[in-house]
Structure 1
Amino acid sequence: MDIRNIKKAYMIGIKGSGVIAVVEILHSMGVEITGSDTNEKFFTDEILQKLNIPYFEKFEAKNIPSDVDLVVYSTAYNENNNVEFKEAKRRSLEMISYPEILAKLFNEKYGIAVCGTHGKTTTSAMLAHTLKEIGVDPSAVIGSRVINWEGNALSGKGEFFVAETDEFQNKLRMYNPKGIILTSLDFDHPDTFPNFADYKNAFADFVVRIPKTGFLVVWGDSVDTLEVSKETICQVLTYGFGEENDYKISSLELQKFEVEHNGKSLGGFEIKLIGKHNILNATAVIAVCHKLNLDLEKVKEALKNFQGTKRRFEYIGQSNGAILIDDYGHHPEEIKATLKGAREIYPQKNIWAVFQPHLYSRTEALLQEFSQSFSDIDHVIVLDIYGSARENDGKVNSLDLVKLINKFDRDKAQYLKTIDEAVKFLQDKIGSEDIVIAIGAGNGWEVVEKLKEK
């Protein structure tokens, strides 16, 4: 299949944060797009409306046009759980999954993949933004809306293609990258990988795909990422805080830092984003740009004006003087990093986290780790677990998590079943001394949006 010959495409799951990026690229290529999803509202609705792309908010067989050239589907859907998928198969239409079409677009260019358990979205967005600002006109697909662009994708004419690549269902095997950033490794996706060894192997198999002339930029402070890096035949460049790293972070002061390359200073850098994890993300970008012999003065300016991505410690507004933040963190290590960063910026504030666990399988597998993720803040509200098309029930519930949190931090956590209950509870308790952070990959962000309206 030659994508350049596609005239009309239909997207099943068009509101997905990854699918929408492919929509943007195909639309820029002149492909006529339609699609469908649920009626639940996402930030991607705004992108579709901005592009004037029509879409259905219900899955029905009759939605698929008779003259469509290609059906692109989210991997959340299959013949057993989606009537449109079943209809497309019945009609013998050309079908391709979202990760497959992304890989096809990516593999045609000098592809730089950003992978790892944490930081993929921010790092890939930061790299793509930097390349764009430098003037090399990259293509990019990011898993969230980039605030600087108000979109998820770039469809440039330059040689580089930056992609946030997802290990879920082992989609990594579809890509042939020239370069990779490996940000971190912690066990995740227990519904796909039975144990950490299998999870790690997915990344080991991925870095092997880099040609000898390519590069691997890897977080050098982690035993696990370094172990994976030994599998590749290409040049390996490490970054981090440790003395042994090729790109060493020094002189850190909140959002300002210096980077040394093999003992020589590359100068001072500054970012708007909070937390040491984002300093690491920025240093990975610096390492790639330095490797590609790009102008570091322009890199400094680009990093300084990068505003982040949607749902990554995003300022939403205020309610009764309280600051409202939304964050996508849904793994214990992400939550810890986000809340630690919040405490560094707001040392005297009373910090509330409204946490909506994402997926029963993840909550069960990492229950103990989740319970110890909130030590840097004052209060935790735990909502019901957010299920998915893949699962809507499990062996654990949010009350189990609340009990465990309170075992470590007495009376810190409480269970509130719904978003509306959390809003009602908080609106009379918060004021100018408070920060409220909605955290999770589901729709828990509605808590801070509704508080803003009060």
Structure 2
Amino acid sequence: MNIDNIKQVYLIGIGGIGMSALARYFRHLGCLVAGYDKTETTLTMQLVAEGIPVIYSDDFSQVDDAFKIAGETTLIIYTPAVPSGLGILNQFNALGHTLFKRSQVLGLISQRRFTIAVAGTHGKTTTSTLVAHLLKDSGYDCSAFLGGISTNYNSNVLFSDNNVVVVEADEYDRSFLTLHPDIAVVTSADADHLDIYGDKGHLEESFSLFLHQVQADGTTIVKIGLPFEATIRYAADRPTDAYAENIHIANGTFYFDYVWHGGRMDNLHLGVPGQHNIENAVAAITIAHQLGIGTGDIRSALSSFAGVKRRFEYIVNTDGTVYIDDYAHHPEELRAFLTAVKQLYPSSTLTAVFQPHLYTRTRDFADGFAEALSMVDTLLLMDIYPARELPIAGVDSQMLLDKVALKDKRLATADEVKEYVRINRPGLLVTMGAGDIDLLVKPLKTILTHV
């Protein structure tokens, strides 16, 4: 497949964050682009507004004839998240099309570019977005394929005329093994996606393979404590090749010093909160140093970084009410997010709404979820969001709730969450999860801002 020859692109599962970035990329190149997804979302509505048609019925007759003829100018992309029995998927196969996974296309796009790839079970979206912002804001520039919507650029794909591309390298389904980067980062490798990998050992093996695909003269930047070889190790709180120290909060925001073998940068201001994000920033600064970006440009970009939608995103922030939304859906992500919230608001009563994501993840990490959720004062726990999975006997939200060491805890539907917030009007509220809990954000904001 020669990407340069492509004129028509159809994406099956176009509403995914990674798939929509590819849709926007090919649209930017002037290709005819369209796609299918099972449900309409804010993201698919944005794509339609940008001139990319989307259908929501598994009906091949609704697919434009321009995409149906197999050939070197037509590219059909699918996400592994769609079921194998999907009619549109199988109709394209029957017509002789070669179907490409999103990750394969990303590999093709990046193979002739200087590629910076950020991997990790947590932290990769914020880190890759911060790297892209450092390069953009400094004038170094880059293209980027991100796993979230950058608040600074209101997009998950960025464009430039130079040969540098930043990509979020996804470990799900071993997708990142299509990449051969010049600089690779691994932010974390906690057990996850055990429905794919089986155990943590196989997950770590996949990360190791990813790092071994870095170009011979390339650089590997790995968080300290991970069992992988690395050119540079980094940390947020202990000395190594590159690390942060003197982490502190002033005027409600985080500051730190960056230290590396060549010197230090003192009193850096980070535009997003949390020690976990300082750790992400250390990795991003280290990349910027590798590329020769000046300390003044780094300092300015860190301060102006506005983060990623649904990553510690302030929805309401007034003197009387704070409401923060976060994508956290793994115990370590919950722990990092809730720790940052409690550091910023140590004297406030914390009310949390959490929607577990996947039956297998809830089963495999139930004790870890319960421990993290026990950090809050009041918990409203929603039903498990199944995504691609069927129910598992004995695995439900009640099972998880029973393990949480809190007195003030309850199961709640979306309507019950809204009613609780309407009646109790918590001063510090967080919503957390990777399913459709984001549909609650606007209604809760309206309730909390209604006088």
Q: What interval of TM-score do these two structures reach, taking the shorter chain for normalisation?
A: over 0.9
1: CA distance, partners of 2:28 / 2:297:
27
The equivalent of 1:76 in structure 2 is 81
TM-score, scaled relative to structure 2: 0.93
Displacement of 1:425 in angstroms is 2.1
> Which secondary structure does the structure 2 equivalent of 1:111 belong to?
strand
Once the two structures are superposed, residues 205-256 of structure 1 have per-residue CA deviations (whole angstroms, 9 ceiling, x without a partner) of: 1111112310011112x2xx1x2126xxxxx111114544111211211211
1:414 and 2:410 aligned? yes
1:130 and 2:134 aligned? yes
Displacement of 1:372 in angstroms is 0.2
The equivalent of 1:29 in structure 2 is 29
Displacement of 1:18 in angstroms is 0.6
The equivalent of 2:379 in structure 1 is 380
The equivalent of 2:155 in structure 1 is 151
Q: What amino acid sits opposite 1:112 in the alignment?
A: I
Contact 1:332 1:369 in 2 (8 A): yes
The equivalent of 2:363 in structure 1 is 364
Contact 2:184 2:211 in 1 (8 A): yes
Distance 1:132 1:47, change over 3 A: farther
1: CA distance, partners of 2:391 / 2:77:
25
Q: 1:444 aligns with which of 415, 420, 437?
A: 437
Which blocks of at least 5 consecutive residues in structure 2 are unaligned?
68-73
Q: 1:210 aligns with which of 197, 208, 214?
A: 214
Once the two structures are superposed, residues 248-279 of structure 1 have per-residue CA deviations (whole angstroms, 9 ceiling, x without a partner) of: 21121121111111272233311121110000
RMSD: 1.8
> Which secondary structure does the structure 2 equivalent of 1:303 belong to?
helix
Displacement of 1:378 in angstroms is 0.9
2: CA distance, partners of 1:50 / 1:16:
16
Distance 1:451 1:266, change over 3 A: closer
2: CA distance, partners of 1:154 / 1:62:
33
2: CA distance, partners of 1:388 / 1:410:
28
Distance 1:88 1:78, change over 3 A: farther
1: CA distance, partners of 2:239 / 2:367:
32
Displacement of 1:39 in angstroms is 2.5
Contact 1:47 1:151 in 2 (8 A): no
What's the % identity of the aligned pairs?
30
1:350 and 2:349 aligned? yes
The equivalent of 1:87 in structure 2 is 91
The equivalent of 2:10 in structure 1 is 10
Displacement of 1:321 in angstroms is 4.9
Q: 1:247 aligns with which of 228, 231, 242?
A: 242
Which blocks of at least 5 consecutive residues in structure 1 are unaligned?
231-235
Once the two structures are superposed, residues 307-346 of structure 1 have per-residue CA deviations (whole angstroms, 9 ceiling, x without a partner) of: 0111101122379953222110000000010011011111
Contact 1:325 1:438 in 2 (8 A): yes
Number of residue equivalences: 437
Distance 1:452 1:98, change over 3 A: same
Contact 2:222 2:228 in 1 (8 A): no
Q: How does 1:328-343 map to 2 (within 5 A)?
A: 328-343=327-342
1: CA distance, partners of 2:373 / 2:271:
24
Q: What amino acid sits opposite 1:348 in the alignment?
A: S
Displacement of 1:394 in angstroms is 5.0
1:111 and 2:115 aligned? yes
Once the two structures are superposed, residues 140-176 of structure 1 have per-residue CA deviations (whole angstroms, 9 ceiling, x without a partner) of: 1001110111110012121211111111111121111
Once the two structures are superposed, residues 67-125 of structure 1 have per-residue CA deviations (whole angstroms, 9 ceiling, x without a partner) of: 22221111112432x11101111111242111111111122211111001110100000
Contact 2:316 2:445 in 1 (8 A): yes
TM-score, scaled relative to structure 1: 0.92
Contact 2:236 2:275 in 1 (8 A): no
The equivalent of 1:233 in structure 2 is none
Contact 1:142 1:164 in 2 (8 A): yes
